[in-house]
């Protein structure tokens, strides 16, 4: 355990502590400085400086010579500074004022009783729960049914030759000899830990052992097995089903997000950890240890889950850590449930202590021998002129994971003894030259430590000695007396043998020096922090030249690297023949159907090359992989609580991951692993990856904890985790949940919080959906919620020309909704794709607009699932589309966008010195838009436009924002957490960024203007309706307006908040005249003025006006490039079809509605023509005729 001491908030690190393992944990603490010891070399200090720049830290070297050291500093987070320059002027339109006046004439703003009547006593706790999920209930089987099922299974396994062969293989797995020990331990103990090495068979066999054991007692069971990834859950379930001679969905099923096979009659269910966690939360397992409710008993009672198997617990994702804490609290009150923990690499004793000293079963693994090459070896191989580097490599396999029986060891001992003492060499030669599946060349006698090389050296057997050396025997090994093969040759005066050994040693030393020289040259010219695609390409060619069989698995950091590698290989004439090389990607972005191809054998004469992320590290087996290329890198999402920013950096893997990756080459036959880093570099790797709960935002996790156990403080519960998160991370999460209204200031769960936590997306997205339902604008919100919780559907080509075309296509889609928005492009893309799909042209549409067909189909399925969930939770009526009648109103839609991404609000600064893609956020922090954003080239010569964005990520290039959309001021003024008002003239006491005196916090019952009407400052500010006042939002964004407009906005904020809370508390179908009229009025005002304030000078580079979409020349070029007719894919035509279908769909409504009939004239007079407003695309009916859904 390393110790360190503090002096003036500076941490001094002991010299034996590896610096890479310290920066991330320290960054989540409150210590401001961090000083490394003087032991770091110049190269290591250089790496620290590079890493600090990526992490947003400052670093400085001080001292000289051997006393030089690095100190790392956290950058100070500047307090939010009120922006006094470039203030945006905002004024309500006459139409909006009329709507507001009408509302407050009927329901006066100072009528304190109205708020009380709407909201009533606010209930902050709730115990309402979902009904049980029958998927996780025990099968309805009698003893006779079980007996018959066992007999059928037995007969099938004995009669089917294929199944018989599979059964024979199962009995030879290392875990097979532990079968009885495992079932006996599970019977006797509630928690059992199985620590099994890679290849022992635990993942596929333990669930079957448990099932067969329970069936042997004529009982039923429900075994829930969790996997960290969807692909693992699906593939393992299929593997077990095939081993039992069944199709998936019978005895074995799976349940992942948006997909399932099987049901109640399945005895084994595979699912992701998140699925089981949400099940436990939704079933109401709060107040753990108390008497269970009827709902909970349906899942964890006598007819519910009997066994929970948590696999790959060493990966330490946040769901599995939380699941373990919940189940640990649940087990004392549920003695019928058994918990089995499994992992290949695990700190067994630590997990055992966490569960009160549960028994540990250690199963030795079996992997075929794997030869390991490091970067220095690879460079030498590529430089050398050897015809085939694999001839000797096949003999140089390691024996690290090979378990030899005592009998076989005794045989080898006897063989060495016979040669050593009796000069009987033939048996030893037979062993040395035999294909025995492990490295016998370096086998040491169990008593003397003598190796075969020592035998031949002592006896002067020159021929055998040369052969053994050529096969790769280690000449440096020592026997139990400390003697080497050379020393034995010299002792016995075997001069020729000694000379041969000396020359061999000299050659090896020279080779080592040459390798070190090559490595130094390489590292001097190549950035080791980046994946070397050229090296991978050369290495792949070398492997394929020197061998003809065996699949190759390449571990890369992410989707971009996979795409880039595939494109490089396709451009290489050596790999361009698709009949000879099958290039496959294994990534969560790839649809399940495509992922299954990875597990299939290629046609004869075709070599399979799989490019994957760390998804292939564990649980899945590609049984024909012989060669593994390990880049040593991974994309790791982390979190800096000190500045509340997520990070997505390419980082080095852990030693445990390196071992797992190498093991992929030896699952089914001997293999070779190429590590694209040096052996010295590997020594600096962390033993294990930092637990995810310590490197991620915790809002979603904290909300689930509060729903699970409302009476307990969140921080108190998180302290029970195996590795509790940083206190600052918990504080940040609670603060965000309070801003959302999910928690009260004293950390009590609110009715809104219960609603937000009951839906399977981030609480911010759930709030957007509820807000969209209220404003009759559900459809676009639904699409965004699905995309945000899954993946961006837009592909990002690597080729510069294609990349420009992809951005132009995105701009063209965004222009349908007025432009200036990545989120708008996503909404338009889905609506147009849906129409194209109905016409059978979905694939062509995706090709032209650079969309992923698989992701679009998944989003479509997710939308249906989410709609079903919304209906099931009574958020919407069964006829869901009736909640989307205002989906094409730009002002309302922008308000919905804000609701889904607030408080992620920023400004696009004025275009200066050619800057582009800059976003200014709270505190004056400036971040960059990624070049894939449709707003990357957006500029304004007038006022600075407001934007909403998804998240800030610190990447290798600094702080980045990927997606954003331009919005108007009104949605922000209505929905922001806090607004403050001050006179427009500068007041001495307000200089320097001090908050103005007049506060307009979003409260439940108090009218903000009324609350401050007696204050002197308030009287001065609001003394005349025409006074120009300054409005500060969230203490940094400043607007100007009249006192009357600000007063009306403050009243609308209170009224809309009260109406929303009423709807949430009393379900969305409950009628209230005040609430309905208030929501209706806000919708109408947003329709009039939601886009007001967006600068008319917005334009893209080389474009004249903000209305301009993708240049016509580029659009025509797109059509020509894809070889399709522009008329077939006219976006306007597709949208008109979409709108027509919506109009026809609603013609049968009981009450007449006045939705948005786009493309035609408004049926009613508009007091103000909005067609010339920036970003306005679709004509609409007057806001007075906008329809609020009947469920409200």
For residue range 1099-1132, what is the model confidence (pLDDT) as tens digits? 776 543 334 343 333 333 333 233 333 334 345 4
More confident site: 487 or 392: 487
Rg, Å, the chain Cα set = 34
pLDDT the model gives residue 1184: 36
Q: Please tell me which of 39-53, 394-408, 676-690 the model is most confident about, judged by mean pLDDT.
A: 676-690
pLDDT the model gives residue 1175: 30
For residue range 963-972, what is the model confidence (pLDDT) as tens digits? 999 999 999 9
CATH of 134-363, one of 3.10.290.10, 3.40.190.10, 3.40.50.11260, 3.40.50.300: 3.40.50.300
Span 18-37, mean pLDDT? 58
Residue 127 has pLDDT above 60, yes or no: no
Residue 303 has pLDDT above 90, yes or no: no
- Determine the CATH number of domain 533-639+654-689: 3.40.50.300
pLDDT the model gives residue 939: 76
- Cα–Cα distance between 759 and 1024 in angstroms, integer? 47
Q: Are 1091 and 968 in contact (CB under 8 A)?
A: yes
pLDDT the model gives residue 1168: 37
Residue 53 has pLDDT above 50, yes or no: yes
* Residue 928 dihedral angles phi and psi, to the nearest 5°: -105, 140
Residue 146 has pLDDT above 80, yes or no: yes
pLDDT the model gives residue 1009: 38
Residue 288 has pLDDT above 50, yes or no: no
Span 1027-1037, mean pLDDT? 87
Query: Tokens 């206190």 label which residue?
Result: 727
User: ω before 1058 within 30° of 0 (cis)?
Assistant: no
**Which residues sit opposite 629 in a β-bridge?**
554, 674
For residue range 415-449, what is the model confidence (pLDDT) as tens digits? 899 989 888 888 888 888 775 545 677 888 988 99
pLDDT the model gives residue 343: 83
Taking residue 867's Cβ as centre, other Cβ atoms within 10 Å add up to 19
Residue 453 has pLDDT above 70, yes or no: yes
Span 107-113, mean pLDDT? 63
User: What pLDDT band is residue 594 in, cutting at 50, 70 and 90?
Assistant: confident
For residue range 1020-1031, what is the model confidence (pLDDT) as tens digits? 566 677 888 888
Every domain of the chain and the residues it spans: 6-74, 90-121+969-1089, 134-363, 374-380+389-523, 533-639+654-689, 693-711+719-749, 753-906+1093-1185
Angle (CA) 1023-1026-1031 rounded to 5° is 80
CATH of 6-74, one of 3.40.50.2300, 3.20.20.140, 3.30.1370.50, 3.30.930.10: 3.30.1370.50
For residue range 723-756, what is the model confidence (pLDDT) as tens digits? 999 888 899 999 888 888 888 888 998 888 888 8
Residues 6+ apart with CB under 8 A from 735: none
Task: Indicate the range of 233-237, 512-516, 1066-1070, 1181-1185 predicted with least confidence.
Answer: 1181-1185
Residue 1158 has pLDDT above 70, yes or no: no
How long, in residues, is the chain? 1192
Residues 6+ apart with CB under 8 A from 332: 289
Order across the sheet with 905-907: list the strands: 633-640, 645-652, 952-955, 958-961, 926-929, 918-920, 905-907, 946-949, 964-967
CATH of 693-711+719-749, one of 1.10.3910, 2.60.40, 3.30.70, 1.10.10: 1.10.10
pLDDT the model gives residue 487: 92
User: What pLDDT band is residue 1019 in, cutting at 50, 70 and 90?
Assistant: low
Residue 1166 has pLDDT above 60, yes or no: no
CATH architecture of 374-380+389-523: Alpha Horseshoe (1.25)
For residue range 899-926, what is the model confidence (pLDDT) as tens digits? 988 888 998 886 665 566 788 888 777 8
Which runs of E-coded beta strand occur in 53-148? Answer: 57-62, 69-74, 88-89
Residue 1015 has pLDDT above 70, yes or no: no
More confident site: 593 or 9: 593
pLDDT the model gives residue 846: 92
Residue 1150 has pLDDT above 80, yes or no: no
pLDDT the model gives residue 286: 43
Domain 134-363 matches domain 533-639+654-689 at the CATH topology level: yes
pLDDT the model gives residue 760: 78
Span 532-549, mean pLDDT? 93
For residue range 489-524, what is the model confidence (pLDDT) as tens digits? 999 999 999 999 998 888 888 878 888 888 988 988
Average pLDDT, the chain: 78
More confident site: 706 or 289: 706
Span 47-61, mean pLDDT? 74
Residue 340 has pLDDT above 90, yes or no: yes
Task: Indicate the range of 566-575, 583-592, 631-640, 650-659 predicted with least confidence.
Answer: 583-592
DSSP 528-541: TTS--HHHHHHHHH
CA distances to 76, 266, 369, 373, 418 from 439, in Å: 57, 44, 8, 16, 20
pLDDT the model gives residue 290: 46
């Amino acid at each position: 355990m390393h110790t360190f001491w503090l002096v003036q908030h500076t941490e001094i690190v002991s010299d034996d502590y590896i610096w890479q393992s310290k920066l991330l944990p320290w960054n989540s603490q409150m210590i401001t400085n961090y000083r490394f010891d003087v032991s770091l070399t110049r190269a290591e200090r250089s790496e620290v400086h590079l890493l600090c720049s990526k992490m947003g830290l400052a670093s400085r070297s001080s001292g000289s010579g051997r006393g030089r050291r690095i100190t790392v500093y956290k950058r100070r987070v500047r307090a939010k500074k009120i922006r006094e320059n470039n203030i945006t002027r905002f004024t309500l339109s006459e139409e909006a004022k009329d709507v507001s006046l009408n509302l407050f004439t009927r329901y006066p703003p100072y009528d304190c009783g109205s708020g009380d009547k709407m909201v009533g006593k606010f209930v902050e706790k709730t115990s309402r729960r979902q009904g049980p999920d029958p998927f996780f209930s025990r099968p309805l089987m009698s003893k006779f049914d079980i007996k018959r099922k066992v007999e059928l299974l037995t007969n099938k396994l004995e009669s089917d030759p294929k199944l018989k062969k599979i059964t024979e293989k199962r009995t030879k797995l290392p875990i097979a000899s532990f079968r009885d020990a495992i079932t006996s331990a599970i019977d006797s103990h509630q928690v059992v830990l199985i620590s099994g090495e890679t290849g022992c068979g635990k993942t596929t066999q333990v669930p079957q052992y448990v099932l067969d054991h329970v069936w042997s007692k004529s009982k039923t069971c429900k075994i829930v097995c969790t996997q960290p990834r969807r692909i693992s859950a699906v593939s393992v379930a299929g593997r077990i089903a095939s081993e039992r001679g069944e199709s998936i969905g019978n005895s074995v099923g799976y349940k992942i997000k948006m997909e399932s096979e099987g049901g109640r009659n399945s005895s084994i269910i595979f699912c992701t950890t998140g699925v089981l966690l949400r099940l436990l939360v939704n079933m109401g397992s709060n107040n753990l240890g108390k008497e269970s409710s009827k709902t909970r008993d349906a899942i964890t009672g006598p007819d519910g889950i009997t066994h929970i198997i948590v696999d790959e617990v060493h990966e330490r994702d946040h769901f599995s850590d939380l699941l373990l804490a919940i189940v640990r609290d649940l087990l004392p009150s549920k003695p019928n449930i058994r918990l089995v923990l499994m992992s290949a690499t695990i700190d067994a004793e630590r997990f055992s202590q966490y569960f009160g000293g549960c028994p540990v079963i250690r199963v030795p693994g079996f992997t075929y021998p794997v030869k390991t090459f490091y970067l220095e070896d690879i460079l030498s191989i590529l430089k050398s002129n050897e015809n085939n580097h694999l001839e000797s490599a096949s003999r140089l396999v390691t024996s690290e994971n090979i378990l030899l029986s005592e009998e076989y060891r005794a045989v080898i001992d006897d063989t060495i003894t016979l040669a050593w003492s009796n000069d009987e060499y033939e048996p030893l030669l037979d062993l040395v030259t035999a294909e025995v599946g492990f490295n016998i060349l370096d086998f040491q006698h169990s008593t003397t430590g003598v190796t075969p090389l020592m035998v031949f050296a002592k006896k002067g057997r020159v021929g055998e000695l040369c052969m053994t050396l050529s096969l790769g025997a280690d000449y440096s090994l020592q026997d139990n007396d400390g003697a080497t093969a050379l020393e034995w040759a010299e002792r016995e005066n075997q001069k020729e043998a000694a000379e041969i050994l000396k020359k061999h040693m000299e050659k090896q030393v020279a080779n080592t020096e040459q390798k070190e020289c090559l490595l130094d040259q390489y590292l001097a010219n190549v950035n080791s922090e980046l994946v070397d695609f050229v090296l991978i390409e050369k290495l792949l060619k070398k492997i394929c030249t020197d061998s003809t069989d065996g699949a190759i698995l390449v571990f890369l950091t992410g989707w971009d690297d996979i795409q880039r590698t595939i494109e490089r290989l396709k451009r290489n004439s050596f790999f361009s023949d698709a009949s000879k090389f099958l290039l496959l990607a294994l990534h969560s972005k790839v649809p399940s159907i495509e992922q299954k191809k990875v597990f299939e054998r290629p046609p004869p004469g075709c070599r399979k090359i799989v490019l994957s992320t760390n998804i292939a590290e564990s649980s899945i087996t590609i049984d024909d992989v012989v060669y593994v290329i390990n880049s040593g890198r991974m994309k790791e999402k982390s979190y800096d609580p000190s500045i509340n920013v997520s990070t997505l950096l390419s980082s080095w893997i852990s030693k445990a991951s390196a071992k797992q990756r190498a093991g992929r080459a030896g699952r089914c036959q001997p293999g070779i692993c190429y590590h694209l880093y040096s052996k010295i570099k590997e020594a600096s790797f962390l033993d294990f990856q930092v637990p995810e709960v310590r490197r991620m935002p915790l809002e979603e996790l904290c909300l689930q904890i509060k729903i699970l156990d409302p009476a307990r403080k969140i921080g108190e519960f998180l302290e029970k985790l195996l590795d509790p998160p940083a206190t600052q991370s918990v504080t940040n999460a609670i603060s965000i949940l309070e801003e959302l209204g999910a928690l009260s200031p004293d950390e009590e769960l609110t009715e809104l919080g219960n609603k937000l936590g009951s839906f399977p997306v981030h609480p911010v997205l759930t709030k957007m959906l509820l807000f969209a339902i209220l404003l009759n604008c559900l459809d676009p919100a639904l699409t965004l919620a699905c995309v945000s919780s899954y993946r961006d559907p837009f592909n990002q080509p690597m080729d510069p020309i294609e990349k420009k075309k992809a951005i132009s296509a995105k701009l063209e889609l965004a222009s349908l909704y007025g432009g200036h928005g990545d989120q708008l492009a996503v909404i338009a893309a889905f609506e147009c794709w849906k129409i194209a799909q109905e016409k059978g042209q979905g694939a062509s549409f995706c090709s032209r607009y650079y969309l992923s067909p698989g992701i679009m189909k998944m989003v479509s399925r997710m939308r249906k699932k989410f709609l079903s969930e919304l209906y099931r939770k009574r958020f919407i009526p069964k006829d869901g589309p009736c909640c989307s009648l205002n989906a094409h109103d730009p002002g309302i839609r922008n308000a919905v966008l804000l609701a889904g991404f607030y408080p992620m609000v920023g400004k696009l600064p004025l275009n200066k010195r050619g800057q582009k893609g800059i976003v200014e956020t709270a505190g004056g922090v400036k971040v960059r838009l990624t070049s894939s954003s449709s707003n990357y080239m957006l500029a304004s010569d007038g006022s600075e436009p407001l934007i909403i964005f998804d998240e800030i990520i610190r990447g290798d290039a600094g702080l980045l924002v990927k997606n954003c959309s331009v919005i108007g001021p009104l949605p922000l003024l209505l929905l922001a957490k806090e607004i403050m008002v001050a006179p427009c003239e500068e007041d001495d006491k307000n200089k320097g960024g001090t908050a103005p005196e007049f506060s307009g916090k979003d409260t439940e019952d108090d009218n903000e203007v009324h609350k401050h009407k007696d204050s002197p400052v308030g009287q001065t500010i609001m003394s005349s309706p025409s006074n120009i006042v300054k409005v500060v939002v969230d203490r940094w964004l400043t607007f100007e307006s009249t006192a009357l407009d600000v007063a009306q906005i403050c009243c609308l904020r209170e009224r809309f908040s009260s109406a929303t809370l009423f709807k949430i508390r009393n379900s969305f179908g409950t009628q209230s005249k005040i609430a309905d009229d208030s929501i209706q009025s806000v919708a109408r005002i947003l329709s009039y003025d939601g886009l007001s304030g967006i600068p008319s000078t917005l334009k893209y580079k080389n474009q004249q006006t903000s209305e301009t979409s993708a240049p016509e020349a580029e659009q025509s070029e797109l059509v020509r490039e894809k070889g399709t007719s522009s008329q077939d894919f006219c976006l306007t035509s597709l949208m008109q079809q979409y709108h027509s279908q919506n109009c026809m769909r609603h013609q049968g409504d009981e009450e007449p509605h006045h939705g948005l009939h786009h493309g035609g004239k408004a049926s009613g007079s508009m007091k103000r023509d909005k067609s010339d407003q920036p970003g306005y695309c679709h004509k609409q009916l007057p806001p007075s005729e906008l329809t609020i859904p009947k469920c409200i």
